[in-house]
Amino acid sequence: MSDWTPKKRMLAAYRGQPQDRRPVAPEFWYYYPAKVLGLSMVEFEREVPFWQSLQKTFVRYECEGWGAVFPKVLNEAQLAVRFKREAEGRYLETVTRKFHGREFTQVKEFSDREPSWLKKHWAEGESPLMAAEMLLDADYSLDTAEMLHAYETVGEAYLLEVWLGMPFFDFVADIMGFESAVLYFMQEDESTLRALRERYTEYQCGLVDKLCKRTPYESYVIGCGYSCNSLIGPKLWRTWDKPYIAAVAKELHRHGRLLHIHFHGRCMETIEDFAEIGIDCVCPFERAPGGDVNTAEELARVREALNGRVTFNGNVHTVETLIFGTPQRVREEVREVKRAFAGSNRLIIGTGDQVGYETPEENIWAMIDEAKK
């Protein structure tokens, strides 16, 4: 009997080591796990541990996968959290913090059908500096009890990673909103921006150091909101986010851990950067219209640019193929990706972002079955 497990296959792919077969990891994030568990999105986000819902979903579909556990950073600045029903199927969560005599408020809207989103940011219409200092206050305690419990419970069922938040641009955008952040980066003095990025980098690398020393997690993940070629372009990304990601990768590798980057949208212009700064795995290499990795020729270019140093995860179209396509079309797309990476250990058959709620189950099974062949 083989001793290969879903987690072992994922880690071997991240490290460029041989596996008994290709890992297949549909991105089950919010929609499909909520569907599998029969929960509204509000119940899913607020009542069930995220790692637990993913475990049940990956086990159901007998496939590999990745998910995230969120570090619990305890900061005395937090005053109150209020959750109330706003209308039928809609709710508001208001978080209030006090820092250096000022109050900051963030409001998140929840829906029964859709994942939550920010309705009010910490510092809308003003400089993000004070709010950033509040969020980056080094006077915090780290509670790892839930992380350790999740690690032991998930075991080998899938690759559970530590969530490290977002790149630098997204950190600022989460404080003040996307449009305000774009203007801020255009108008603010460069030295101020660099100082803020260094502050963010120092805080995050310090957090990584603590987490690596106190938990056994093998891999960490940095997400993506607006920080991608499609929204801020490769120049802004290279100037402000690439140095931050490189610093985190270096710190993780110092501890013998791995870094996975989730990078939405267009990516062809920055693929060589991924290999340069030491990322171990990147997903989801989306197809048009969201992304720009569409053909066998473009897949070959991606493989060449990654240069055997970064693992490719993704590319099965979550809308045109998985939602609207046939099982045969799903199989053809999986085979196309497998052919492009024939002979390479650095491939995970994944989806171009998360699997939609409307996805026919037979298409998910077709993807998994074809990838396992």
Residue 218: inside a domain: yes
**Tens digits of residue pLDDT in 251-300:** 999 999 999 999 999 999 999 999 999 999 999 999 999 999 999 999 99
Position 80 scores a pLDDT of 81
**Pairing between strand 281-283 and 311-316?**
parallel
86 inside domain: no
The answer to whether residue 321 sits within a structural domain is yes
Quick check: is 236 in a domain?
yes
Two tokens, residue 152: 């032991």
- Residue 139 burial class via C-beta count within 10 angstroms: exposed 0-12, middle 13-18, buried 19 and up: exposed
Average pLDDT of the residues in 64-92: 88
- Residue-wise pLDDT for 208-229, tens only, equals 999 999 999 999 999 999 999 9
One-letter amino acid at 308 equals G
Instruction: Give residue 119's pLDDT.
Output: 94
When mean pLDDT is compared across 38-52, 72-86, 88-102, the lowest value belongs to 72-86
Q: What is the strand order of the sheet 219-222 is part of?
A: 24-25, 347-351, 311-316, 281-283, 258-262, 219-222, 159-163, 66-69
Instruction: Name the band, by pLDDT with cuts 50, 70 and 90, for residue 4.
Output: very high
- Domain contains 170: yes
List pLDDT tens digits, range 5-33: 999 999 999 999 999 999 999 999 999 99
Q: In this structure, is residue 109 part of a structural domain?
A: no
DSSP 76: T
Residue 193 belongs to what domain range?
A: 6-75+139-372
Structure confidence at residue 15 (pLDDT): 98
The more confidently predicted of residues 100 and 201 is: 201
Does 259 map to a domain?
yes
Spatial contact of 55 and 157, defined as CB atoms under 8 Å apart? yes
Q: What is the DSSP string of 266-317?
A: --GGGHHHHHHTT-SEEE--PPTTT-S--SHHHHHHHHHHHTTSSEEEEEE-
* Rounded average pLDDT over 39-63: 96
Element containing residue 96 per DSSP (H, E): strand 90-99
Q: What mean pLDDT value characterizes the chain?
A: 95
- Average pLDDT on 314-318 reads 97
Please enumerate in sequence order all residues whose Cβ is within 8 A of that of 260, keeping only pairs 6 or more positions apart, or say none. Answer: 14, 66, 161, 219, 220, 221, 222, 279, 280, 281, 282, 283, 313
Return phi, psi of residue 142, to 5°: -115, 115
pLDDT band at 117; cut points 50, 70, 90: very high
Q: What percent of the chain has pLDDT over 90?
A: 93
The total domain count for the chain is 1
Whether the predicted pLDDT of 76 surpasses 70: no
Residue at 129 is within a domain: no
Residue 319 belongs to domain with CATH number: 3.20.20.210
- Check whether 38 has a pLDDT greater than 60: yes
| pLDDT band with cut points at 50, 70 and 90 for residue 1 | low
pLDDT at position 101: 84
Of the candidates 192, 204, 115, 142, which has an alpha carbon nearest to the alpha carbon of residue 168? 204
With cut-offs at 50, 70 and 90, classify the pLDDT of residue 77: low
**98 SS3 class:** strand
**Whether the predicted pLDDT of 202 surpasses 70:** yes
Q: What span, in angstroms and rounded, lies between the C-alpha atoms of 97 and 84? A: 18
